């Protein structure tokens, strides 16, 4: 078989296994920082890391990468645990917190000082930045760079003890101020920050920087393949520099892959937090959000998201994936799994004049046209029905195959009806009721006289249907790449949510379990909202329409 770009990480691992690079082990990790909810980009990383562990009979850790106290919280930890589990992955007893390594990380830093590879610097952040130089110009060394080991050890322990104000001292790796890679110009590895940590409270006033904490956390957990996104490519030399100096054997190896970018949305916690905080959406689990919590509530299944991740593959170059590919995966999954039902979103009352008053028939309808094993339900039919307002036209053309003067149409799972007359609101002129006649011979058969009835429409029985609220969702943004815009919130789609509060669903949906998914015939796939559904009034979220209405 020809290797494809999509499995280059797997190829690296296969090669490492062949050369026995990590003693034949494969250990990966998914390391979210608990400073926000997981989004679709994280799903790609979760599928990749857990997927590789499974493929190579290795392990995958779930690590809360919580070394920066600002913005981290237990609420986020809980959401992360819930979401990874929901997506279908199991870390067994391999749940870790980087904050559990604070003491060990401190010892590692001390070790680096003893080696002469780190020093305490008294420059402030601006001064450090100003001396870092640029791509075209080497940096200038800190005047504190050549402090003795003893002095550095003393100062570092006093940093920990809280003797110095925030921002006045840092610990820096002593690497190379002339390196062409700016990351290597004596990076800061510890800083003073008096901020309560959600797990260690005020125990620490110094916190390790990501570049220092991450590689060593990997090493402490015995990770072999540390997979991260491309932005960290320049940080890899630093990753290796630290690990080579502090870890004697079983050194982890960083590999970068392209992050997921999805059109018409944003995949960055910082931006998603802004949407929540500024009230542009109704919380992290708003069904329009690209968060796992939002997509779950919308009705996307874990399998659909996993399929999408496998469909897009893993590449080495950044690209933009069209949102319609995700919707395609969602549709494919639901087409197989969702029972069919009927609901009318914009109701128009229809009276069947020749159907006896008080009579009720029940039709036995298959829940899925291709899957008899999904069973059937009883669908009541009576004299007064609701149909979709859109399925009627007062002045239809000859090509219109739904209801209107002179028209006949089949009611899905039921009879053929013919238009008789209409009733208008006297004040507005709006058509508020239709009168029709039904052809009793057409229940499971075409008209006996051979006339053709082309259109089929959905309906519910007025007496038996359940009032429901339906929420229709559209793209959250109205431009493909909102993340690139200065003020991305200006490009929010004002029509991303439409609430229809007077809809009618067939009787069988009365007790739709929160979270259950259906295909409402001709309308799309819908999911009973987990939060807002009430016993007497379910709320349905439209997961996705039946077809891609955005396709050209
Ligand atoms: P954000 O940019 O949204 O804040 P992050 O990378 O800071 O994301 P972390 O919680 O640190 O968020 O990420 C956990 C893991 O998820 C990392 O290994 C990261 O590489 C991966 N990840 C985050 N965003 C994406 C994405 N868009 N595509 C693929 N992987 C991602
Ligand atoms: Mg992060
Ligand atoms: Mg981030």
Ligand 1 atom with the shortest distance to the CA of 46: 16
Alpha helices by DSSP H, listed for 299-372, are 302-312, 323-337
Question: Which ligand has the nearest atom to the CA of 80?
Answer: 1
Q: Is 404 in the pocket of ligand 1 (CB under 6 A)?
A: no
Question: Which ligand has the nearest atom to the CA of 210?
Answer: 2
For the question of residue 33 being annotated catalytic, the response is: yes
C-alpha 67 to ligand 1 mean position (Å): 15
Ligand 1 atom with the shortest distance to the CA of 45: 30
Q: Assess contact for 72 and 183: CB atoms under 8 A.
A: no
Helices 8-18 & 40-55 angle (0-180, nearest 10): 30
Name which residue sits closest to atom 27 of ligand 1, judged by CA.
41
User: Residue 456 in 3-state DSSP?
Assistant: strand
Q: Is 524 in the pocket of ligand 1 (CB under 6 A)?
A: no
Name which residue sits closest to atom 25 of ligand 1, judged by CA.
41
Which H helix or E strand runs over 434?
A: strand 431-439
Q: Which CATH superfamily is domain 269-339+468-544 in?
A: Ribosomal Protein L25; Chain P (2.40.240.10)
**Distance of alpha carbon 85 from alpha carbon 519, whole angstroms:** 26
Ligand 1 atom with the shortest distance to the CA of 35: 10
Q: Is 269 in the pocket of ligand 1 (CB under 6 A)?
A: yes
Q: Assess contact for 47 and 257: CB atoms under 8 A.
A: no
DSSP per-residue letters across 150-177: HHHHHHHHHHHHT-S-TTS-EEEE---T
Residue partners of 353: CB distance under 8 A and separation at least 6: 420, 435, 436, 437
Ligand 1 atom with the shortest distance to the CA of 232: 20
Ligand 1 atom with the shortest distance to the CA of 269: 3
Q: How far is CA 338 from CA 334, 366, 473, 519, 547, in A?
A: 5, 12, 19, 6, 15
Q: How far is CA 366 from the centre of its chain?
A: 33
Going by C-alpha positions, the residue among 171, 212, 213, 205 that lies closest to residue 64 is: 213
**Distance of alpha carbon 295 from alpha carbon 115, whole angstroms:** 50
Cα-based torsion angle of the residue sequence 478, 481, 482, 486 in order, rounded to the nearest 10 degrees:
-130
Question: What is the torsional sign of CA 376, 378, 381, 386?
Answer: negative
Residue carrying structure tokens 């259950």: 516
Q: Is 32 in the pocket of ligand 1 (CB under 6 A)?
A: yes
Which H helix or E strand runs over 18?
A: helix 8-18
Q: Name beta bridge partners: 308.
A: none
Q: Name beta bridge partners: 257.
A: 229
CA angle 327, 333, 338 (to 5 degrees): 110
Question: Which member of 25, 29, 33, 297 is catalytic?
Answer: 33
pLDDT of residue 550: 58
Q: Determine the CATH number of domain 340-465.
A: 2.40.240.10
**Distance of alpha carbon 265 from alpha carbon 7, whole angstroms:** 26
Q: Is 259 in the pocket of ligand 1 (CB under 6 A)?
A: yes
Question: Which member of 94, 131, 259, 377 is catalytic?
Answer: 259
Name which residue sits closest to atom 12 of ligand 1, judged by CA.
32
C-alpha 102 to ligand 1 mean position (Å): 22
Beta strands in 109-214 (DSSP E): 118-121, 170-173, 188-192, 206-208
C-alpha 290 to ligand 2 mean position (Å): 17
Mean pLDDT per block of 10 residues along the chain (552 residues) reads 62 95 96 98 98 96 98 98 98 98 98 98 97 95 98 98 98 98 98 98 98 98 97 97 97 96 96 97 98 98 97 89 96 96 98 97 95 96 98 95 96 97 97 98 91 95 97 97 94 98 96 95 97 92 86 44
**Distance of alpha carbon 263 from alpha carbon 94, whole angstroms:** 34
Going by C-alpha positions, the residue among 212, 133, 119 that lies closest to residue 169 is: 119
Ligand 1 atom with the shortest distance to the CA of 31: 14
Q: Is 31 in the pocket of ligand 1 (CB under 6 A)?
A: yes
Helices 323-337 & 302-312 angle (0-180, nearest 10): 140
- Residue from 9, 42, 236 to probe ligand 1 pocket by mutation (most atoms less than 8 Å from CB): 42
Q: Is 492 in the pocket of ligand 1 (CB under 6 A)?
A: no
C-alpha 45 to ligand 1 mean position (Å): 8
Question: Which ligand has the nearest atom to the CA of 231?
Answer: 1
pLDDT of residue 2: 43
Q: Is 228 in the pocket of ligand 1 (CB under 6 A)?
A: yes
pLDDT of residue 549: 64
**Distance of alpha carbon 361 from alpha carbon 515, whole angstroms:** 30
Q: How far is CA 156 from CA 117, 207, 210, 238, in A?
A: 13, 12, 18, 21
Question: What is the torsional sign of CA 342, 348, 349, 352?
Answer: negative
C-alpha 94 to ligand 1 mean position (Å): 20
C-alpha 6 to ligand 1 mean position (Å): 19
8-257 shares its CATH topology with 340-465: no
Print burial letters for 157-182: b (CB count within 10 Å at least 16), e (below 16).
Answer: eebbeeebeeeebbbbbbbebebeee
Q: Assess contact for 100 and 91: CB atoms under 8 A.
A: no
Q: Is 157 in the pocket of ligand 1 (CB under 6 A)?
A: no
DSSP per-residue letters across 343-374: EESSEEEEEETTSPTT--EEEEEESSTT-GGG
DSSP per-residue letters across 33-85: -SSS--BHHHHHHHHHHHHHHHHTT-EEEEEE-----TT--HHHHHHHHHHHH
Question: Which member of 199, 269, 298, 410 is catalytic?
Answer: 269
Q: Which residues surround ligand 2, an ion (CB under 5 A)?
A: 33
Q: Name beta bridge partners: 207.
A: 191
Q: Is 437 in the pocket of ligand 1 (CB under 6 A)?
A: no
DSSP code of 161? H
For the question of residue 259 being annotated catalytic, the response is: yes
C-alpha 25 to ligand 1 mean position (Å): 25
Q: Assess contact for 343 and 523: CB atoms under 8 A.
A: yes
Ligand 1 atom with the shortest distance to the CA of 34: 10
Q: How far is CA 24 from the centre of its chain?
A: 34
For the question of residue 269 being annotated catalytic, the response is: yes
Q: Assess contact for 270 and 240: CB atoms under 8 A.
A: no
Class of domain 8-257: alpha beta
Structure-block tokens of residue 93: 């007893």
Structure-block tokens of residue 312: 């897009």
Domain boundaries, the chain: 8-257, 269-339+468-544, 340-465
Q: Assess contact for 470 and 502: CB atoms under 8 A.
A: no
Which H helix or E strand runs over 107?
A: helix 102-114
């Amino acid at each position: 078989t020809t290797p494809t770009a999509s499995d280059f990480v797997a190829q690296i691992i296969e090669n490492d296994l062949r050369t026995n690079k990590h003693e034949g082990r494969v250990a990966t990790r998914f390391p979210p920082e608990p400073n926000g909810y997981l989004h679709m980009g994280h799903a790609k990383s979760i599928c990749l890391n857990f997927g590789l562990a499974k493929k190579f009979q290795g392990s995958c850790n779930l690590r809360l990468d919580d070394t920066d106290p600002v913005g981290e919280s237990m609420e986020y930890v809980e959401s992360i645990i819930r979401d990874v589990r929901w997506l279908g992955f199991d870390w067994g007893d391999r749940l870790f917190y980087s904050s559990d390594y604070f003491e060990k990380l401190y010892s590692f830093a001390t070790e680096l000082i003893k080696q002469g590879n780190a020093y305490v610097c008294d420059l402030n952040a601006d001064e450090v930045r100003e001396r870092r130089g640029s791509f075209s110009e080497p940096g200038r060394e800190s005047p504190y760079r050549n402090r003795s080991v003893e002095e550095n050890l003393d100062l570092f322990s006093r940093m920990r003890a809280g003797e110095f104000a925030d921002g006045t001292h840092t610990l820096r790796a002593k690497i190379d101020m002339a390196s062409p890679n700016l990351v290597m110009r004596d990076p800061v590895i510890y800083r003073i920050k008096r901020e309560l940590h959600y797990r260690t409270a005020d125990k620490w006033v110094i916190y390790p920087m990501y570049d220092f904490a991450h590689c060593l956390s990997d090493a402490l957990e015995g990770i072999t393949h540390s997979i991260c996104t491309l932005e960290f490519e320049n940080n890899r030399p630093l990753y290796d520099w630290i690990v080579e100096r502090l870890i004697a054997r079983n050194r982890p190896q960083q590999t970068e892959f392209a992050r997921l970018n999805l059109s018409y949305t944003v995949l960055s916690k910082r931006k998603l937090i802004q949407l929540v905080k500024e009230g542009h959406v109704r919380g992290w689990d708003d069904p329009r959000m690209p968060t796992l919590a939002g997509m779950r509530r919308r009705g996307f299944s874990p399998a659909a998201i996993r399929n999408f991740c496998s469909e897009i593959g893993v590449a080495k170059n950044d690209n933009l994936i069209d949102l319609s590919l995700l919707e395609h995966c969602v549709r494919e999954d639901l087409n197989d799994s969702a029972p069919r039902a009927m609901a009318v979103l914009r109701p128009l009352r229809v009276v069947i004049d020749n159907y006896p008053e008080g009579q009720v028939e029940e039709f036995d309808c298959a829940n899925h046209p291709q899957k008899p094993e999904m069973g059937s339900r009883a669908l009541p039919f009576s004299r007064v029905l609701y149909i979709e307002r859109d399925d009627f036209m007062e002045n239809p053309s000859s090509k219109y195959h739904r209801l209107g003067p002179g028209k006949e149409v089949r009611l899905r799972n039921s009879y053929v009806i013919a238009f008789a007359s209409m009733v208008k609101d006297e004040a507005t002129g709006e058509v508020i009721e239709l009168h029709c006649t039904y052809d009793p011979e057409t229940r499971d058969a075409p008209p006996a006289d051979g006339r053709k009835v082309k259109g089929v429409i959905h309906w519910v029985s007025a007496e038996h249907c359940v009032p429901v609220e339906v929420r229709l969702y559209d793209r959250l943004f109205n431009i493909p790449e909102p993340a690139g815009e200065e003020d991305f919130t200006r490009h929010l789609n004002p029509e991303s949510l439409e609430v229809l509060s007077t809809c009618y669903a067939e009787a069988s949906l009365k007790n739709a379990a929160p979270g259950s998914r259906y295909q409402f015939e001709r309308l799309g796939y819908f999911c009973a909202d987990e939060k807002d559904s009430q016993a007497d009034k379910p709320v349905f979220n439209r997961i996705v329409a039946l077809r891609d209405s955005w396709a050209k």
